[in-house]
Amino acid sequence: MPAVLRPWTAPLTLVLLGCPPPSGDDSDSPPDTGPPPDGLTAEPALHLADGPGDLDLSAEGMLLIVTRWGGSVLSWDPASGAQDEIQHAIQDLDGVFRAADDRLWAACSDGQVEGRVGWLDRNDLVEITDRADDGTLMRGVEDVALAPDGTLVAVDDVLEGLFLTEPASGATAFVPLAIANPQGLLFQEGALVVAGSDGIWEVTLPGGAVTRLDPRGGRGLALWGDTLLASNAEDGIFAVGGAAAGTGGIAGPDDLLALGDVLYISDSVGLDLYAMDLSGWEP
């Protein structure tokens, strides 16, 4: 059965906290779910000269695609093939998150030394902050999401922690995590999930305590109905706590977005965005 997450209802207090020990299932073996099913393949859906990166969904149901090397955001209609560049050449753009008011929150980082978060406007990042209130500089902010209370949450894979920012004031706390190379994050029914190279984890805010949901490492995360999906190069696409669907022939399965029964997958190695039909698959 896919993992069931506990909703996060605790208020968020921005304070510097230590790194709590991990809890939950610390097994080094993935669930015994058998081999991936036959015939579950992925097909190239869109070729991008700058490669596909982070994915989100617009209010109109269009895919929002960050170009991996170009720093642009494309709006793409899978049905008609129509596409439009809505943000152009933003330096070091890594991850985006579309809020309910259509504001496009973003994380930008050179991957090693400098990072910053804010929102996108007219081909530029309106920066909120590049550091925590204690002076901890952002270095490898990869992805962002809004918590249920409106706090901007950014994951930093270089510092292996989270930056929690109050958008109105810019007040920011850094929370270290006991997770190796955290990259993808999302909220499922109010619970924060983070993908790292040592597993898929539920993270309790604001303290940062972690519980491992699946020992398989992950890069991208997506919700397919009530099923939490993750990606990595070895297992391909897999349900957290459940079966693997395989790589579908993709060299580097990375960022994910489910639209109906079709899962869109960014290839971190090649230049194509792939589509995998999940209809009939029982994770």
pLDDT at 20 over 60: no
pLDDT for 90: 96
Q: What is the 3-class SS of the chain, one letter each residue? A: CCCCCCCCCCCCCCCCCCCCCCEECCCCCCCCCCCCCCCCCEEEEEECCCCEEEEEECCCCCEEEEECCCCCEEEECCCCCCEEEEECCCCCEEEEEECCCCCEEEEEECCCCCEEEEEECCCCEEEEECECCCCCECCCEEEEEECCCCCEEEEECCCCEEEEECCCCCCEEEEECCCCCCCCEEEECCEEEEEECCEEEEEECCCCEEEEEECCCCCCEEEECCEEEEEECCCEEEECCCCEEECCCCCCEEEEEEECCEEEEEECCCCEEEEEECCCCCC
- Whether 11 is covered by a domain: the verdict is no
pLDDT at 38 over 80: no
pLDDT at 258 over 50: yes
- Whether 283 is covered by a domain: the verdict is no
Tell me the average pLDDT across 66-78.
Answer: 96
* Residues in Cβ contact with 266 at an 8 Å cutoff, skipping those fewer than 6 apart: 51, 52, 53, 54, 55, 65, 68, 220, 253, 254, 255, 256, 273, 274
Tell me the average pLDDT across 218-236.
Answer: 96
What whole-number percentage of the chain has pLDDT above 90? 83
pLDDT for 30: 52
pLDDT at 204 over 90: yes
pLDDT category of residue 40 using cuts at 50, 70 and 90: confident
Q: Write the CATH number for 106.
A: 2.120.10.30
d(CA 224, CA 144): 19
d(CA 57, CA 44): 19
What whole-number percentage of the chain has pLDDT above 70? 86
pLDDT at 59 over 60: yes
pLDDT for 2: 55
pLDDT at 223 over 80: yes
- Whether 36 is covered by a domain: the verdict is no
- Whether 257 is covered by a domain: the verdict is yes
- Whether 164 is covered by a domain: the verdict is yes
Q: What's the domain count of the chain?
A: 1
pLDDT for 112: 81
Tell me the average pLDDT across 79-86.
Answer: 96
- Whether 205 is covered by a domain: the verdict is yes
pLDDT for 274: 98
pLDDT category of residue 17 using cuts at 50, 70 and 90: very low
Residue 158: give the domain boundaries.
47-277
Mean pLDDT lowest among 36-50, 181-195, 243-257, 262-276: 36-50
- Whether 3 is covered by a domain: the verdict is no
Mean pLDDT across the chain, nearest whole number?
89
pLDDT at 29 over 60: no
Mean pLDDT lowest among 3-17, 42-56, 89-103: 3-17
Name the amino acid, one letter, at 193: V
- Whether 195 is covered by a domain: the verdict is yes
pLDDT at 16 over 50: no
**Cβ neighbour number for residue 126 with a 10 Å cutoff:** 11
